[in-house]
Structures are given as C-alpha cells and as structure tokens.
Structure 1
Amino acid sequence: MAYDSVYTKVNAKGIAPIARDHYKNGTILEIVDHKIKEETDEHVFSLSKGPDKESLEENRKDSLKLSLEEIKLATKGFSQDNIIGHGDSGYAYKGTTNNTHGDNIIAAKRLDKKSGQGDAEVLAERAAAKFIAELDILMEYKHLNVIGLVGYCDEEDEKIIVYEYASRGSLDKYLSDDSLTWAMRLRICIDIAIGLEFLHGTASSPEVVIHRDITSSNILLFDYWKAKITGFGLSLVCPTSQDLEYVIDNVSGTIGYRDPLYSQEGFLTKESDIFSLGAVLFDILCGKLSSVKLDDEYIYLPFLAKKHYHLEKLDELVFEGIKEQIEPQSFVTFAKIAYQCIHHGRERRPTANEVVIQLKKSLEFQEDYEKWEPELPKDYKEIIQKSKCPEMYSTIKKEDLYNIFRRESSFNKTKWFGTMVEMLDISDLNIEIKTKAQFLSPNVVYGVYIVFKFYDSRNFSSKPMYFNLNYRKGYESLHAYFATWRDEQWMMIELYRFLNQNEDVIFEFLVERFTSYYCGDAAVYVEGVGYQPLDAELTPHDNTNQNSNMGFQCFVY
C-alpha cells in the first residue's frame, strides 16, 4: 500500500516522494521487490531521465519502415507501367497498398545509386546522403503544402522513399494548359509560397530549411489543384542562431531557377530560395519553364522577364491561354512581387511571408473581377470615362464599383448614347428606348427619365417647365407635361414610375414627338435615360411595374 507504515516512517506522504527521490538518484532498484527483480531484466529499471531524443527518433523511424517486399508488391515489382516520373536521383513508381481502411495509393521513389558521372563509390555515397537528408526533413517538417511521407525502405542495398500520391502530377506539365485558369494558377502560387514560408520558419524557429531546388517540376499537384513542395534531396537544415550565408563547395540546384549570386559566390541563404520561387512564378505567368534555354541574349526566362518588366512590356510574355482572363490590378500586383523575388540584390528580395501577402492580394483582385464584372453594366467603362475623375475608379474593386452603381442612381452613372443624338424635327422623333432594371436599391420607388436639351438656349429655372411630350409604352399612348432642369443645360422628363423589387423587367418606350406649339421648332439633343429615387411612395392605382436597372439600348428611326 502507498501509505504502509514501512513508507510513512521514512516520509509521512507515503511511497510517492520516496520513489521520486530514488528515481532522481538512479537508485530505483533499491526499493523494487526482490521477486520482481528476479523475474525481470535489470535494464527495465535503468532509465534515469526517460528516453533521449535519439531513441525517440529511432522509434519514429522504425514505425515508418516498410519492407522491400511490401513495396515490390505495391508497385508490381517496379513495373515500367507504374513509372510516374524520373529525375537525377531515380524513378518514381505509382503503387497501391492494402490496409484495414482499404486501398491506399502511394508514390515510391527508388534511389538510383549509379545516376550521374564519376566514381561509382562516390556516387553511391552522395545518393545515400540525399536519401538520409530528405528522409530526415520529411519526418521532421510536416505541413499541408509540403509532400507527406508515408514510409521508407533501406534494405538489400535498396533505398526507397514512399510519399503520398499526387493525383495530378507535377506543375511543369500544366504550364501551357489552357484549362489551368489564372485564378487557379494564383492559388497554386499561394500554396507554394505558404509551403516555403513554413520551411523558412520564423525568428523564433530553432532551425530553417533551405530547399535549394525550388522548380516547377518539384511542385506536386493534388485533388482540387492543391500544391505541395517536394524534392528535398539537396535541402539543408540550418540553425537560425547562425548567419545563414554558408559557403557550399558544390553549388547545386537547377539552372534557370538557381540564384545567380549563389552560382557566382557559393553563398546560400533563404533568399536563394526566394529567387527560385520568383522563377516559378514567372513559369506560371508565362507558360514556360525557366530551365529551358531561350533563343535570346538573356538565355533563361527570369532574366528575360526582368528585362520586359523594366521596359513595361511584361504583358508580351504572358501565356496566351490566360492573357485575356487576367484583371489588370491582379497582374500588376503579381508582376511586382515576382520581379522583387528575382532582384539581383538579396536584401531587396521579399520574405516568403511577404510573397504570400501580395499573391493573396492578386487573387483577391482576380476573384473580385470574375464575380462582379458580369454584374456591371456592359458599358460601365465608358460611363466611368465620362465621369469627372475617371482615374479614381482605376484601382477600385469591382464589388465596390457594383455597390456604387447600385446605390447611386444619379444620371452620370446611367448608360448613355455613345454619341449625343441630335433630332432636327421634334414633331417626328420616333426614339425607341429599351432599358433593363438593375443596380438600384431594393424597395425604393424610382422615376425613369429621358434627358434632353434644345438647340436654342433656354433660361435655367428652378421651376418645372411646361411641355407636351407624346410617347408610348407598349400599346398605351402617354403624355408628359412638365420638365425639370438637371443642370444649367440639360432637362429631364419623367416617363414612368416603378417600385424596385429586384425582378428582371425590361421597360420599352417609343418617344414620338414634342408639341411644337410649346417647344418651338428648335432641334433637340437627347443624351440618354436614367433613374432617380422618388420621395413619395406610389399607391396601388399608380399601376407600377416593379423593377430596376441602369442599362438601356436606344434605336432611332
């Protein structure tokens, strides 16, 4: 018993503090029952402080070990039909394993010890080092945007790493694919940058991972186009407490993606990865690989892109399959951060976190454009150009622009004729107006107005002017008798009233003539049709067709 007199004579609190003291002093065996010691190996009681880090890592590695037989069975004996990729370090095979939860698709990379040129023993040692480096990183660094480790095999002179299976393969296969839209490409870019941000860590991280070979072929794509970083064979884990400018005797990485400063000086830093990330961003924008030599003095894509960016001609390099999709602000934001990534000065390059922020802004512009552009009037750009300050609308989000059109019903935000229509004979106008109700506040009564002015000057007045305008709505003949001044030149006459209830209603009017007795014989300039909210609510006998819109088409006969 814990509070047996044998123990309470030593310590009033019983066996617990006694056992704790013996454990700390490494004398736990002194209080173990002699019968238990006779039946049990002494090493069971030999731990003084618990398992050390090395033993825990070994246990974790053991749990991930797969037998060569299992992998052969999964890949059908490394069948040629199961090859899904290959690189400098060997071939990757698709495989299927069985467990209690059903079939699991995996990708097994089989290390080729003979790849490369040189002494066979040296090559084998280099391959083994890559294997261990990649395995250690994948065991330690787990993230949604980093390839997942399923297991490994190191037996019978075979070294195999088993990964989660990427259903869509590597990014490089889709660069020139029209079906990969600009918005989808931006989401892939964000995934890559987030993955790199994780690897690079934060100021409080004890270590950082420098990938050293970020390329489009080392980005794997999964269902829903989720992107993950792979290819850690060349990666280095560096303590954050030290200066990260490590001299590397054997400069590694893929040419075109490799930081030119690293190539020239042999200094490797996190910013070297940022250059490679920038190269991948330009791959995605331009639809081609940075590793492919170009018939140009700049040789590789990042350097050609840098030249075009300086000349403000980067749009010339954009992949034709997506060029028409890209919203201008999305392009500007993306291009700027991609250019900063490949800046010749390391100190001028952004962090991975800063890249993530700007890419998300670029996607926000694009998604805003794709959602709200179709909701705007077809000629909203012309409307903006006719406003007093069109430049103020150049960077505004489309959703905000939509809300402006919906909220405001002033005439400078309605659709107008492309050019002002001059009607010389006011007794025979025959202007057919077709207008669709949209972008107006719901449950508000609006008036539909025609805006016009006479060729001869009329004296501005705050009071309504008497006119007689004949027009038709469907088969109904109507008259409007009063016009109000919109400003010192233009006047407007109400044609109709309606309560906006967000229905798709199209209004059609045929403006026939002004009575010359009241208006004289002067020509009329017709500017367009617009809407204006009315203070007074309509009563049922007003016979309103409830709806709203700001667009119209006008046909003159």
Structure 2
Amino acid sequence: MVAFKRLDRKLGQGNIEFWKEIIMLSKYRHENLVPLMNFCIEGDERILVYEYASRGSLDRYLTDINVSWIQRLKICVGAARALKFLHDPMETQQRVIHRDIKSSNILLDENWTAKVSDFGLSKVGPANQPQTYVFSNVVGTPGYCDPLYFETGFLSKESDVYSFGVVLFEVMCGKLCYEYANGKITDILVPKWKKCYEEKRLDEIIFHSLKEDMESSSVDCFSAVAYKCVEKVSEKRPTMAEIVKELEFALEQQEVFEDLGKKLDFQEMIRISHLAVVPLSYGSQSQLYTLFLKGFLVADGKTMISINKKGELIEIISSRKCILEKQLQPYATKDSRFFNVYLCTINSNFKLNVSTQFLLPDIAYTMNLVFKHFGWDNGTHVPFKYKLDNERDYRNSSVAHVREDGWLMVELYEFTSNCKEHTFRIEFEPPFRIASSLFVYILEGIEFSPVKHVL
C-alpha cells in the first residue's frame, strides 16, 4: 500500500515544488518524516510515491474524543523530533526550514507515529550558524504563518517554531486555529488562545473530553512551551531541541500519572491525604497524584508519605519518632524533611523501634537509615554496626549512597511486604571507640523504599 501525490498544474504548482520534494526527502531521512519511495515523470505528468500513512493527517483527529491526551503528546513529540532533525542536521551543512508546518501536514501511520510531510515550500540554508535568515516571498497558511515573517519577509527556523506552536495549541484545544464559514476564514483563534494562557484561563479552551485524564504538570509544561513558541519576538521562542525536551517531559509526567492510576487505589490515597499535617488542596485525581509524588507529612508530622514514578509507596519515619534513647541531642535543621531530628556523637549507642503504617503488600522494600555527617567529612563511611533484637551477632553496615538532596542512605535490610504495618527493633553501636567525641552525625530517620531492582 502506497500513497500517490499527483502534480495539478491548475493549482499553480510546477517542477520547482516537485523536484524540491524529491531532493529533500531523498537527502533527509528520519522516522518522523514521511518516506519518499519513488517518483514518476512521463510527459507532463509528475507523480510522487510515498509510504502510506493509513490514518491520514492530524487535523482530522483534533476533535476526536477517542484520541487521548497521551496519544496526542506522543504525536507532538514525534513531529517535534522531525523538525529538530531538519533544523539541526548532524551529517550535513544544510538546515531545512519547512515553511508550511500545520496539522494537515503531519501524517499518522497505523501506529499513530507522526510523519511530517509536504516539503514543496521548504527552504535550505547553512546550518553551521546560530541563526539562518532567508529573504523570500511570504508563503504559508493563514493562522499558522509567523507574523514576523509575514510582515518582513525574513524567514528563519523560528518561523517553523511559531507554526508548530500553533499546532500544539490545536492539539490541546481540540480544534483548528481558525474558524471557517462560506468558504472563507472568518477568525484566527491564536490571539484568543494566547490571552487565555496569559490570564490563566486555559480551562476555558482545553478540549473538554481531555480534561479528566490530563495530569496537571503535563498540561502546565505543554501549554508553557506552546505559548513560548508563538511569542511575537522570534528571539524569545525556544529551539526545536528545547521543545523536544519539554514535550518529552510532559509525556513522561502523563505516563507516570497513568501508571499510578493502574497501581494505586484512589480511595486509599484520599484516606491517607486526610492524615496530612497541612491540609492538602487538590481539585482532581491528577493533582492528588502530584502531591503524592512531592511527598507530605502525616499524623504528628514525624512521618512522610510519597510515591515513586512507578506508583509504589515510600514511607519515611523521623528519628525523633523511632529512636528510643532520650540522651541523644535534638537538632533542628532546614535540610531535613523533618524539622526536628537527632544529633549523635560517633561513640553513641542507640536503639530504635520503627513501625510502618502504609506499606503496600507484595512489594519488595529496603529499610534504610538516612543520616549526614556534621562538621566533618567522612565520605560515605558508615560509623556504626547494627542488629535486630532477635539476632545474636552485629552486622557491619555497607557503604552509604549519597542521595540527590545530599543526605547519606545505607540499606539495613530487604524484605517483601505482606501488609501495611511492620515493626522492627534494631540496636546500633559504633564499630570501634575513639577518644574524641567531636565527630557527630545527624540521624534523619528510617526510609522504607521499594527496591529498584529485584534479585
């Protein structure tokens, strides 16, 4: 199955557009560009042969309630990658400016993979410069055409960025960028969309069938990059590389959200959220998931609950709640997730009694001690050994790992959870005694985290 495009000279097309399409698609190949398979020249006939995109063009699906937000994100990421490839080629000194980016020129194959098409109006310029400006007769489609290019005739890769930003708004709003009546365009919607974004009224223009399934941070990221693309000043517009990065992040956030919905019971999340020390404010399921990803304190403020990107629950218990020794010195620090923790000398013995309340069943967890050296740098050395209360011999702790927030974390045990509540009693003592007690460390608490890999 292939697709044919036949040159219609009645529409004012000619050999220039025909050969430009051949040259472009023969030289530039990418998984998100429509592949040219062959061409035909016979008498006055000019025919191009393409790989068949069975689902047609994107504009046909803007109003389709069956095309989900995550599908739309994947389509936009694919199209953005194609434009990034054209704007920043790796193996050629030629940069391609498409000049007619619009939803009808983004084709979709049976797997919903985006394929940018129609290079008859494209321009080529040097790619070894930060900016490529080409002066040309203004062409393009009303609504999508860069106003700066329309006013001055100066074409740049940022002109494609503007047009792509319009497509992003179309995908989010579920409609074309213009209104059509009696065979004429009656209104361009882009200014209205920009104003709604600036006034934080996106909810008024987002396609109604998408709202319930949209993850809030995904929408925030997507709408922000769409708005930046349609800035009137071209220097304020992002590059296609930056756009790809932002759209990939928006897609990642949506994928995390949908994975969470498959793993976590929403009613259980609501129940846990009611225990928050500071009442949580959310208006949708996606907003509640976002709060769980960030984490929040529950009960007496000495336990923190969060989830990872797999939707698995993490429970962190403050040292002030689980360490039994009263002689340890309380310590307040802004670096910790808890306001009050314990300060210990290197010669301290201490016991802890730690009980979980929220662990998910049938998940392999590690129990980790979270601490930080204070006033001295001992690398990742762990200054203690430990044992469970029913064990005879002490274990030597392994090397600690530095977390992103700068705290050290050492794994104590690994176990498979069979219920929400587990209790552990552990004794700690230093592996050796030293004369000085100046060496101290901060004990933040015990963290129960799902294992990243199961042996």
- Supply the AA of the counterpart residue of 1:358: E
User: Which of the numbers 289, 296, 300 marks the counterpart of 2:176?
Assistant: 289
Alignment match, 2:329: none
- Separation in 1 of the partners of 2:200 and 2:242? 23
Alignment match, 2:308: 400
Helix, strand or coil at the partner of 1:169: coil
- Separation in 2 of the partners of 1:312 and 1:167? 38
Alignment match, 1:454: none
Structure 1 consecutive aligned stretches of length 4 or more whose deviation exceeds 6 Å:
401-404
- Separation in 1 of the partners of 2:292 and 2:234? 33
1:84-118 superposed Cα distances (whole Å, 9 cap, x missing partner): xxxxxxxxxxxxxxxxxxxxx11110100011xxx
* Alpha-carbon shift at residue 323 of structure 1 (Å): 1.3
Alignment match, 2:443: none
Helix, strand or coil at the partner of 1:161: strand
* Alpha-carbon shift at residue 315 of structure 1 (Å): 1.9
1:203–1:167 CA distance, 2 compared to 1 (3 A): closer
Helix, strand or coil at the partner of 2:96: strand
Alignment match, 1:328: 216
* Alpha-carbon shift at residue 224 of structure 1 (Å): 1.2
Percent identical residues = 39
Q: Do residues 344 (structure 1) and 221 (structure 2) align?
A: no
* Alpha-carbon shift at residue 375 of structure 1 (Å): 2.6
Alignment match, 1:372: 260
Q: Do residues 244 (structure 1) and 132 (structure 2) align?
A: yes
Helix, strand or coil at the partner of 2:424: coil
CA contact (8 A) 1:384 1:393 kept: no
- Supply the AA of the counterpart residue of 1:186: L
Alignment match, 2:78: 191
1:399–1:172 CA distance, 2 compared to 1 (3 A): farther
Where do residues 352-431 of structure 1 align in structure 2 (5 Å cutoff)? 352-377=240-265, 378-381=267-270, 383-384=272-273, 386-388=275-277, 390=280, 393=291, 396=294, 399-400=307-308, 405-407=313-315
- Separation in 2 of the partners of 1:270 and 1:437? 52
- Separation in 2 of the partners of 1:180 and 1:369? 17
* Alpha-carbon shift at residue 438 of structure 1 (Å): 6.3
Q: Higher RCO, 1 or 2 (CA under 8 Å, sep at least 6)?
A: 2
CA contact (8 A) 1:292 1:300 kept: yes
- Separation in 2 of the partners of 1:302 and 1:172? 16
- Supply the AA of the counterpart residue of 1:288: K
Where do residues 70-219 of structure 1 align in structure 2 (5 Å cutoff)? 105-115=1-11, 123=12, 126-202=13-89, 205-219=92-106
- Separation in 1 of the partners of 2:49 and 2:310? 51
* Alpha-carbon shift at residue 135 of structure 1 (Å): 1.2
CA contact (8 A) 1:185 1:284 kept: yes
- Separation in 2 of the partners of 1:359 and 1:402? 20
Helix, strand or coil at the partner of 2:10: coil
1:230–1:141 CA distance, 2 compared to 1 (3 A): same
- Provide structure 2 residue ranges, at least 5 long, that are not aligned to the other structure: 282-289, 296-305, 319-356, 366-414, 427-455
Matched pairs, number: 314
User: Which of the numbers 89, 114, 117 marks the counterpart of 1:227?
Assistant: 114
CA contact (8 A) 2:259 2:311 kept: no
- Separation in 2 of the partners of 1:439 and 1:401? 15
1:216-260 superposed Cα distances (whole Å, 9 cap, x missing partner): 000110021011000111111112357522221x21001111111
Alignment match, 1:521: none
- Separation in 1 of the partners of 2:89 and 2:6? 33
CA contact (8 A) 2:58 2:107 kept: yes
Determine which structure has more spread, i.e. the larger CA radius of gyration: 1
- Supply the AA of the counterpart residue of 2:255: E
- Supply the AA of the counterpart residue of 1:383: I
Alignment match, 1:535: 424
- Separation in 1 of the partners of 2:60 and 2:311? 41
Larger helix fraction of residues: 1
- Provide structure 1 residue ranges, at least 5 long, that are not aligned to the other structure: 1-104, 116-122, 411-435, 445-498, 504-530, 538-557
1:165–1:404 CA distance, 2 compared to 1 (3 A): closer
- Supply the AA of the counterpart residue of 1:393: L
1:111-144 superposed Cα distances (whole Å, 9 cap, x missing partner): 00011xxxxxxx3xx5221111111111111111
Cα RMSD of the aligned pairs, angstroms, is 3.0
- TM-score after normalising by structure 2: 0.63
